[in-house]
Amino acid sequence: MTQPVPHIPVVIIGGGQAGLSVSWYLTRDSIDHVVFERHRRFHSWRVNRWDSFCLVTPNWQCRLPGWPYAGGDPNGFMLRDEIVDYLDGFSSSFDPPLREGVAVTGVAPLPGGGYRVETSAGIWTTGQVVVATGGYDQPIVPPYAAAIDPAITQIHSAHYRRPAQLPAGGALIVGTGQSGVQIMEDLHRDGRDVHLAVGPAPRSPRKYRGRDATDWLHDMGHYAITIDRHPDPVKAVTQTNHYMSGRDGGKEIDLRRFARDGVHLYGSMAGADGTQIAFLPDLEKNLDDADRSYCGIRDLIDGWIAAQGIDAPVEPPFRKVWRPESEVTGIDCAALGITAIIWAIGFRPDYGWLQADCLDAQGRPVYRRGVTAAPGVYFIGLGWLNTWGSGRFLGIDDDARYLAERIAEYAGVQARPQAAE
């Protein structure tokens, strides 16, 4: 006799901070649901971070539902293990209906409404699906990486842990997003001969005029700007995050200073063959563009301070401490003693398992504040889902609350009003 397929009103796919934030609200409002996590909760924080990793945004921005940061250093930057402890505390605070080690392999609409959810632990049906898998499914490595001499070790930033895991010799880091510049510094501090392919990522001040730049921007309402009010929404969604660091209490990352101190800088990587690496002649442009972003943020803060009549210390104007004498467009790794390449050029999401009509021709989700046109399908935990903080600890609470309200409406359940919290 065929056993009936079990039904769960709401399925959340992904047991990270975004998925469990939605679960927090559904649990509070007694909405039956389950969270499927293919690994262990907060897997990326536990496994895919290097030893010296720390937050880039201050601890006070950690504001998960019912679980704001309560430590003694709100203006500091938690280290990897402290972040995991914070997240584990959040999960323990409400005991979510979480099933770890269960991978979702397919979601498809049912003829009469709802969805069939195929997993490594069986099949369920559901009325609503929350996709909280994030955008970091597949590490990006360019096709020409296959042409690089196999004697050169290649790893992605997701698999970097510490300098000692690399062979002796120099290292080339490709990419200047948050991961690339911080791994570059990690290796430089270890005394390695470091080479960096500089991409078009922008940079930000860290401390400016007596406060962390993120504190000023928060006061200015910058982080509350929604994507539909952003002056350039396409750029907001596609632009690489501004680079800076939370290490040693927080610092700026000025690549010109690192070049002055011995790090070798090149333009964007363009190709490779054997031990030969090619770069575009765009190093100076990329450095200038990053500085333009940096100075633009300083100008915004200056304008806010002046408009509000705030008494804040004045800082000297920015100056370039180094400029490339020429654009190097090719190097020989063997001649320079480069034995390892670290790819820090990002990730791409994989929604191949999702059959719902909510993806564009390129396979990217289409939504408005996480709500898609597919009935009962939602996304959370992606950058600029609604605001700058949507993909970060700062904005997840607001996004999760909003989706929980939409889930309750769709299910015909009245969610508890905010004032009742």
Query: Strand (E) positions, 58-193?
Result: 63-64, 67-68, 98-100, 104-109, 115-119, 122-131, 138-139, 153-156, 170-174
* pLDDT 10s digits, 123-170: 999 999 999 998 888 999 999 999 999 999 999 999 999 999 999 999
Q: Number of folded domains in the chain?
A: 2
Q: Residue 316 burial (CB < 10 Å; 0-12/13-18/19+)?
A: exposed
Q: How far is CA 76 from the centre of its chain?
A: 19
Question: Residue 2 falls within a domain, yes or no?
Answer: no
Question: Is 415's pLDDT higher than 60?
Answer: no
**Do residues 390 and 403 make contact, with C-beta atoms less than 8 angstroms apart?**
no
Q: Are residues 103 and 156 in the same domain?
A: no
Percent of the chain with pLDDT over 90: 91
The reply to whether 167 falls in a domain is yes
pLDDT reading at 414 higher than 90: no
CA distance 294 to 318: 9
> What is the C-alpha to C-alpha distance for residues 340 and 155, in angstroms, rounded to an integer?
8
Asked whether residue 1 is domain-assigned, the answer is no
Amino acid at 243: Y
DSSP codes of every residue in 390-407: GGSTTTHHHHHHHHHHHH
Does residue 278 contact residue 340 with C-beta atoms inside 8 Å? no
CA 139 to chain centroid = 13
Mapped onto helix, strand or coil, the DSSP state of residue 300 is helix
Here the CATH number for the domain that contains residue 179 is: 3.50.50.60
User: Do residue 229 and residue 322 come from a single domain?
Assistant: yes
Q: DSSP 3-state assignment of 347?
A: strand
Q: For residue 215, give its domain range.
A: 141-343
pTM, full prediction: 0.94
For residues 219 and 367, state if they share a domain.
no
Whether 29 and 95 share a structural domain? yes
pLDDT tens across 249-279, in order? 999 999 999 999 999 999 999 999 999 999 9
Residues 124 and 250 in one domain: no
Phi and psi of 116, rounded to 5°?
-95, 125
Is residue 27 within 8 Å of 35, Cβ to Cβ?
no
Domain co-membership, 148 together with 94: no
Task: Say if residues 269 and 277 touch (Cβ distance below 8 Å).
Answer: yes
Residue the block writes with tokens 């939602």: 378
Q: Answer with the one of 343, 377, 403 that is the final residue of a domain.
A: 343
* 62 and 170 co-located in one domain: no
Please give the pLDDT value at position 420: 36
Which DSSP category does 111 fall into?
Answer: T
Q: Do 132 and 262 sit in the same domain of this protein?
A: no
